[in-house]
A and B are shown apart, each in its own frame.
Chain A
């Protein structure tokens, strides 16, 4: 999950363009973690040493590990450990950007250090709940509001549900402070009970077709009733799972209104509203949550 937030950080800091990030994300499924990236991440090699070994590798028919051992940058045991170690998803994203010549290994190392300093999360290998909570609170800081516990739970689940039902190849953009939101194709659902609010999910119709195709695992070619139903289903499913979550963990009960297509052109927002864009390769969706 850190890859999505790291991608967002890179965009916000203009280290990459949206197009470059989108291309790097689209290559992630085929990407394989390189030993040099892991060695650099674990502090065993510097970016310059990794670059040097990569250069030598291009001239000699040897593996990265062999050259790194010959140069005394790594021991045999360290190479074995690195080969067995798990690779965090954000490292793969950074490596993809390096492979595409968008950033250098040195840039990547610096950006990662800056990101860790910015988020105050230094051990991003373990994606535990506490770190994820911290990351989301930090993500919302741009709105200059402290999000309440309900919004935190809601957003955590939304990130997971996007990964689970639509795909992990998205980048969350900073929440947009706004008093109103112009509608494209928008579905809303009222939440009542111990936690009250309204959730909207909005996207252009062509984006809805791709979104629905992924959600329903069907090929939709036009904006029809199945596409509309898919967007409604996703929101209803997410809110239902949110209800289960807060019922089980916080003993709070919610009731949902049926999801409906928003008929207005403009949604009025209040101080408890958050507009969060999520950029997928097929387009941008917006979650508008008031809670």
Chain B
């Protein structure tokens, strides 16, 4: 069973709908108890870093998440700000992140009059053969909407890169912790495939 963390933001309904149509058991969870029942966890997110961290704190799920993800090593997929929250900190705000991956979140450099936020459909290049990108090795594209990017200390966690002003990590994996900077729940067939992969890998 996939737990979609409902902590007040992120398109939880769209993710739930996708899983329902795929006949994958998924539930919106807002209590620790419901969260514990999950095999895998999706942590969605839209909005600013601090706003998201605050919402997560208010939800009362933070401790259980840490326990399940870092303690019991259950698989988790962070989406957009959900992925950024998994870093230690972000230039966008002052809150501390979850620290599940040794990384920082920095603002995309605005050289050459680059438009920010990075908004729209962009190509994604899977790097290592990650089960998350099964069937998505060629012609994969997803919708991006962000001004900050994930910068891990260890390049080895990068499983896919995208190019906007600079090459940056748009998907990462550190053990059981996965992150996607783009919005798979808003990326039509490509996103559906990725979410399916996360459920089945």
Q: Is this pair of chains taken from one and the same complex? A: no
User: Which residues of A line the B interface, CB within 8 A?
Assistant: none
